């Protein structure tokens, strides 16, 4: 799967986000070590802290499908028409870290509307890992 196809998967699942409180849709798509693709969107709750981020949903889908490693994760945020920059939140950086290595790529849109690729070390330097 190409980066463009992975980005499309993230944009497509973003449309299914349940986010009546923030109205900020996020979709995430992962390619795992077996070349399988897993997607997830944010799922909010009236009890706000219980909401799930898209990255957490996609990681849960990967684990449930037998994947153990993130090769590439694409994150798409924004409304239904425009994809906006949505770098993973702090908690999701640690979640991605759990299943990544120094070759893992995290793809997001930047403020100029271009898709940018980050490494884990760029997003979460000197991270904690057992």
Catalytic residues: 55
Using the rule CB under 6 A, is 76 a contact of ligand THU?
no
Place of tokens 């920059």: 85
CB 74 within 8 A of CB 29: yes
Using the rule CB under 6 A, is 29 a contact of ligand THU?
no
Q: Binding residue for ligand THU (CB under 6 A) from 30, 53, 61, 62? A: 53
DSSP letters of the chain? --HHHHHHHHHHHHTT-B-TTT--EEEEEEEETTS-EEEEE-B--SSGGG-B-HHHHHHHHHHHTT---EEEEEEEEE-SS-EE--PPPHHHHHHHHHT--TT-EEEEE-TTS-EEEEEHHHHSTT----
State which residue, 34 or 110, has the beta carbon closest to ligand THU.
110
Using the rule CB under 6 A, is 89 a contact of ligand THU?
yes
Q: Binding residue for ligand THU (CB under 6 A) from 1, 8, 36, 51? A: 51
Binding range to ligand THU, per CB under 6 A, among 31-39, 49-57, 101-109, 114-122:
49-57
Smallest distance, Å, CB 87 to ligand THU? 7
Using the rule CB under 6 A, is 44 a contact of ligand THU?
yes
Residues that bind ligand THU in the complex, under the rule CB under 6 A: 19, 22, 24, 26, 42, 44, 51, 53-55, 86, 88-89, 92
């Amino acid at each position: 799967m190409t980066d463009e196809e992975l980005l499309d998967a993230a944009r497509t699942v973003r449309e299914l986000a349940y986010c009546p409180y923030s109205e900020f849709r996020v979709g995430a798509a992962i390619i795992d070590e077996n070349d399988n693709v897993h997607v997830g969107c944010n799922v909010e709750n009236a009890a706000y802290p219980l909401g799930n981020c898209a990255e957490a949903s996609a990681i849960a889908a990967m684990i449930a499908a037998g994947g153990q490693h993130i090769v590439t994760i694409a994150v798409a945020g924004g409304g239904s028409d425009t994809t906006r920059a949505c770098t993973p939140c702090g908690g999701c950086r640690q979640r991605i870290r759990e299943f990544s290595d120094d070759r893992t790529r995290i793809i997001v849109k930047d403020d100029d509307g271009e898709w940018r690729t980050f490494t884990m070390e760029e997003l979460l330097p000197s991270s904690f890992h057992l």
